[in-house]
Amino acid sequence: MQNTQTGWRLLILLLIAVNVIPEAILQMAEAGWIGAAHWRLTAYGYGALWKGLLAGWQPNFTGQPALMFLSYGFLHAGFLHLAGNIIGILWLAPLTARQVGAAGLALIYAISVLGGGLVFVLLSDSIRPMVGASGAVYGLATAWIYWDYRERRQQRLPLGIIWAKLLTVCLCNLIGWWIAAGEMAWQTHLGGMIAAWCCARALRRPQDSEPPAPQP
């Protein structure tokens, strides 16, 4: 059990690092401490999700149109954007890991990022770059809600609280979009939610796959 907890805690630290380090470097470049101020534009050019790359735009490197569906999730639009997502990861990732372990957490996180990117390109008409881990954060929240839903169904408990939780997450998405004056990629959040619900449904808890203990 101790080794299991160590594994998912290290994974959470890794998720935080791969989100924080790029933004920290870009912040220092913009402050003139290292590199050059144009590093952010360069990072977005190579790592953000650009819908135009699926419509004939010239990629900066081979494979960019595919890789951008993951890489966008580790870039952010500034400190506040990053901070909000890190808070979400710190809150929700341990809840997810306790349900499905480190491998399950990694899978749900990755699927949520991919699903967020896919729904963004399907529903958005924006040609601007999209970045951020919020699709994964919304996905982690939705996976947690799914497990609550599954447990309540198994116990034949009322499901009204589940629909209330899902509605709250959707309202957070809508309110965030309104506060940001339409500049927030709500499509990414929706995609992360859908992907995580499906992924959580397919996953089994580690203890569910273990054989029963022999009778003494």
pLDDT for 61 beyond 70:
yes
Residue at token pair 């890789």: 67
Compute CA distances 155 → 148, 151, 158, whole Å.
11, 6, 9
Q: How far apart are CA 168 and CA 54, in angstroms?
A: 33
Q: How far apart are CA 214 and CA 216, in angstroms?
A: 6
Mean pLDDT of 155-175: 93
CB neighbour list of residue 195: distance below 8 Å, 6 or more residues apart: 111, 112, 114, 115, 116, 118, 139
Which neighbouring-strand residues pair with 49?
130
- Angle, helix 186-202 to helix 160-179, in steps of 10 degrees: 150
Residue at token pair 């480190």: 102
pLDDT band (50, 70, 90) for residue 210: very low
Q: What is the pLDDT of residues 169-196, one digit of tens each?
A: 999 999 988 888 888 899 999 999 999 9
- At 203 the pLDDT is 85
- At 209 the pLDDT is 41
Proportion of the chain above pLDDT 90, given as a percent:
80
Q: Annotate 158-213 with DSSP letters as a single string.
A: --HHHHHHHHHHHHHHHHHHHHTTT-S-HHHHHHHHHHHHHHHHH---GGGGSPPP
Dig out the tokens for 92 from the structure.
């929700």
- At 180 the pLDDT is 83
φ, ψ at 38 (rounded to 5°):
-80, 0
pLDDT for 82 beyond 80:
yes
- At 3 the pLDDT is 58
pLDDT band (50, 70, 90) for residue 208: very low
Give the residue among 172, 9, 193, 214 at the shortest CA–CA distance from 105. Answer: 9
Mean pLDDT of all residues in the chain? Answer: 91
Strand intervals (E) in the chain: none
- At 205 the pLDDT is 61
Compute CA distances 201 → 102, 106, 118, 211, whole Å.
17, 15, 20, 21
pLDDT for 59 beyond 90:
yes
Cβ neighbours of 92 (radius 10 Å):
23
- At 216 the pLDDT is 36
